[in-house]
Structure 1
Amino acid sequence: MAIPPCFTAEAGTSVHFRPRHFPRKTLMPALLVSGLLSTCGAAQAYDIRTNPYLLGDWGGLRTDLAERGITLNLGYTGEAAHNFSGGQEKLTRYTDQWVIGSTMDLDKLVGWRGGTFQMTITDRNGRNLGADAGIGNNMLIQEVYGRGQTWHMTQFWLNQSFLGGRVQWKIGRLTVGEDFANFSCAFQNLTFCGSQPGNLVGSYWVNWPTSQWATRLKINTSEQTYVQAGIYQVNPNYVNDDYARSHGLSLDNPSGTTGALVPLEFGWRPDWNGLPGSYKFGVWYNTSNGKDLYQDVNHAPRGETGLAPRERNGQYGVYINFEQQVSGTAGGRGASVFLNISQADRETAAQDHQIALGLQYKGPFARARDVIGVALGATHNNGRYARYVRQQDQRLGTNTKVGDGYEYVAEVYYSWSPMPSIYLRPNLQYIRHPGGTSANHDAFIVGLKTGITF
């Protein structure tokens, strides 16, 4: 039976589920309803079961714009989670993100050869299960939460290609993770999502949805290898939630810049028996001073003295990111494996290293778009910071939970895609020693990640 191409308002309300315990903006739902109404008359021109966009071609407008060099994007991601164990109470929480963007081929648009312009705006809303339920976890159970739950100018950059694409220069407002240690967010737990160094040192390695002024130069040294380096502004205002709520959409250059993040990455993209792989090795250095976790200005234990922390010259780290398809057909059905490892300096990083590995199988049960994912990960709490907190507790007579071990996370998901534009991804998460300490009870989480491309 054919699926009706037009939806009633009632049929679409599940997409706009909002928990009653927090307020919602209305602009995005209004845009969606407007889009549905404007395209419904031309809906018969496409088949919703095969089209990559829920709203189709907009009566041919999308194709016409693409031919002129303009590609538009409107997407939605929602993440629900409930803790059946762990934490101080059992709760259900929901958080989401809207994405509006445009990619412009400047050659087609204005005859600017080799130029591409990207603009992306994001809007986040909702609640954080880990914080509200008192689970004590380091890594977010809902990766799409954070950075002020507000609007952000996430991308605003120009990319210029030289020498037939061999050299790529990007400049503007960038997120670090779109280019360095880049990794997908198929899983719901942050341990397995996005550019891993940002999970450890997110105060200066700033991932989506927050951007900063930056530039990146990439050189494709062969068909399978590349080297790239970048310079990213480090400014505490960009990761300040209050600042984001008032300036998240602005393209200003706030005062308070402390230095620059300089990442360097080497990449290799081989084909093993016709199956694609990606192997990345990177290092980074932040020219900003960092506060020592344990020593004071006199190099004594600051938890005992109560003096200001020692200032360290620079902050640094190293990472690897391996992805390889191991069965099936290239880019199609089959199994892929991944391994991510990051190590930050022990003088300034409260979480100093993380490892994540997993497997994803695309096309199970003869369903080409469905995916099964399984992953295991561990995040280590820096023992130097834990010693500082315990010494401070002894001095002040307080009792603070602090971990100096590993937070272990396991996640399994099944991604069901009834049509190309929608996926529903139920998942199970288990967190052992949340926050890297056995003082926090292990948590069992049931989650649901939903994605829609309009």
Structure 2
Amino acid sequence: MAALLAFLAGLPATHVLAEEAGEHLTGDWGGARSRLAGRGITFDIGYDSELARNLSGGSRDMTRYADQWQFGTTLDLEQLWGWEGASFQAVMTHRSGDNLSVDAGLGTNQQVQEIHGRGQTWHLTTFALEQAFLEGRLEWRIGRLTVGDDFASFSCDFQNLTFCGSQPGNIVGDYWVNWPTSQWGTRLKLHATPQTYLQLGAYQVNPRYIDDAYARRNGWKLDFPGGTTGALIPLEFGWTPQRHGLPGSYKLGAWYDTSGGDDLLLDGDRRPLAITGGEPLQRGARHGAYLNFEQQLGGVPGGTGARAFLNITQADRATAATDRQISLGVQYRGPFGREADMLGFAVGATHANPRAARHQRLYNRLHPDDASPVLHGNEYAAELIYAWRPISALTIRPNLQYVVRPGATSEHRDAFVVGLKSSMVF
């Protein structure tokens, strides 16, 4: 915390230097960055951090810090080699730090520091070739991909995971894998009109990719590990209209996972697991659907003004312990006459599957000495943020979070969390 305060205190003294650097804190590297970009080589180097302290909730009050480094490059293969319509992207990330939700015993289903998770180590996040056909109307992407970058994609301005990134990965993250973990996959995207598209993907489902021990040893490798259980196949229709000149984004999607999964309630003979203690019934597939709406409501098109969003995801109730998530909010760009700043507020609900609750109630009744809390209903979250952007390459987002019924149970106290999310572009 002391180092962060010292950094903020030093901002006025570095303001001129940072403005001269433009979009990057390290500037133009003596002109080398611009020269490389002119040849088709660009770099993306960034650092994100999230500080959080609980003022209520959990078993004790404490402060935790987590961060992520990102090192990426994009190659325009048409400029470099004359390969028309082709580009290549590679991204490595490194995460470290601690998780307040766990360490303070908050019991939340969704992390109050979204950046923590998927192993505190190096990850090969992207290693992909993209090729355009039909004058750019058809795009093909193949390689090591993060499905959440391609399908149900959403911004990550907020710090609570309820409001960050591709929503399906928040509730079925054992097979829909979001940033920074990648898997082998491919995606075809057809722009039917300038305002509509249809895309279809196929992504490897392999439990090793989300195993922390495996990630620490192999997360950075371009490997193809054994243990693949199936394929995740998402389909998405998108519409990007202009409402009175104001941009919007509307997505409707569904997915099908061929690997299947364990039934939450029944055994192989379709009798309650809590009674028989047998092996779970194996479901042949897992599936779900989502809606993602974003619309600017006023102001300058694509610039200052209010934007509203709504995300809804429903997973199948046979296999998903957390089967639904809904989040909605509004972001206002340009508050207080500061065009680069943003004020935002969001609320959300993460729903516990009633079939899982039914199993736990029955198990508790039959095994009172081994009883566990019954997760039922919703975990509710709300977050208020202010994104201060003193210079182009730095964004500082203080935030307040309040979580009601953490973990979708009354066993945990409501949590009030103060956070600080920062992003730097080098």
Q: Is the 8 A contact 1:49 1:419 kept in 2?
A: no
Aligned structure 1 segments of 4 or more residues deviating by more than 4 angstroms: 10-16, 43-47
CA distance in 1 between counterparts of 2:309 and 2:193 reads 23
1:153 paired residue among 115, 120, 124: 124
Go from structure 1 to structure 2 and tell me whether the alpha carbon gap of 1:221 and 1:214 turns closer, same or farther (over 3 Å shift). Answer: same
Post-superposition offset of 1:390: 2.8
Partner of 1:120: 91
The letter of the residue matching 1:310 is: L
2:61 counterpart (55, 78, 90)? 90
- Of 393, 397, 420 in structure 1, the residue corresponding to residue 364 of structure 2 is 393
Q: Name the structure 2 match of 1:39.
A: none
Offset at 1:387?
Answer: 2.0
Whether the 8 Å CA contact 2:186–2:203 is kept in 1: the answer is: yes
CA distance in 1 between counterparts of 2:91 and 2:294 reads 27
Q: Quick one: distance in 1 between partners of 2:408 and 2:244?
A: 41
Change (3 A) 1:160 1:15: farther
TM superposition shift of 1:399? 2.5
1:166 to 134, 137, 140: 137
Matched residue type, 2:141: K
Q: Identity of counterpart residues, as a percentage?
A: 56
Match for residue 104 of structure 2?
Answer: 133
Taking the TM superposition and a 5 Å limit, the aligned residue runs for 1:34-433 are 48=19, 51-396=22-367, 397-433=369-405
Work out the CA distance in 1 between the residues paired with 2:192 and 2:363. 52
When normalised by structure 2's length, the TM-score is 0.96
SS in 2 for 1:237: helix
1:47/1:307 CA distance change after superposition, 3 Å: closer
**Deviation per residue, 1:277-319 (Å, 9 max, x gap):** 0000000000012100010111111012111110001000000
Q: What secondary structure is seen at the aligned counterpart in 2 of 1:87?
A: coil
**Is the partner of 1:385 in helix, strand or coil?**
helix
Aligned residues: 419
**What residue in structure 1 maps to residue 11 of structure 2?**
none
Q: Give secondary structure in 2 for the equivalent of 1:131.
A: helix
Kept in 2, the 8 Å contact 1:306–1:392? The answer is: no
* Counterpart position of 1:38: none
1:156-182 Cα distance to aligned partner (Å, 9 max, x none) = 000000011100000000000111000
Mapped pair 1:437 → 2:409: yes
Q: Give 1:109 deviation, angstroms.
A: 1.0
Instruction: Mark the runs of 5 or more structure 1 residues left unpaired by the alignment.
Output: 1-9, 17-42
Q: Is the 8 A contact 1:351 1:380 kept in 2?
A: yes
**1:14-45 Cα deviation digits (max 9, x unpaired):** 669xxxxxxxxxxxxxxxxxxxxxxxxxx999
Query: Partner residue of 1:35?
Result: none
Q: Distance in 2 between matches of 1:323 and 1:124?
A: 29
Give the Cα separation in 2 of the matches to 1:333 and 1:247.
43
Question: Partners in 1 of 2:156 and 2:255 — Cα distance?
Answer: 22
Instruction: Output the CA distance in 1 between the equivalents of 2:81 and 2:374.
Output: 57
Distance 1:66 1:251 in 2: 26
One-letter code aligned to 1:373? G
Which runs of 5 or more residues in structure 2 are unaligned? 9-13
Which amino acid is the alignment partner of residue 397 of structure 2? R
Report deviation, 1:452: 0.3
> How far apart are residue 211 of structure 1 and its match?
0.3
Distance 2:382 2:314 in 1: 20
- Asked whether the 8 Å contact 2:50–2:422 carries over to 1, the reply is yes
2:212, 2:402 → 1: CA distance? 29
Using the size of structure 1 for normalisation, the TM-score is: 0.90
- 1:48 is paired with a residue of what secondary structure? helix
Q: Distance in 1 between matches of 2:15 and 2:116?
A: 37
- For the aligned residue pairs, the C-alpha RMSD in angstroms reads 1.8
CA contact (8 A) 2:46 2:423 kept: yes
Amino acid at match of 2:105: G
SS in 2 for 1:178: helix
Distance apart, 1:384 and its partner CA: 1.0
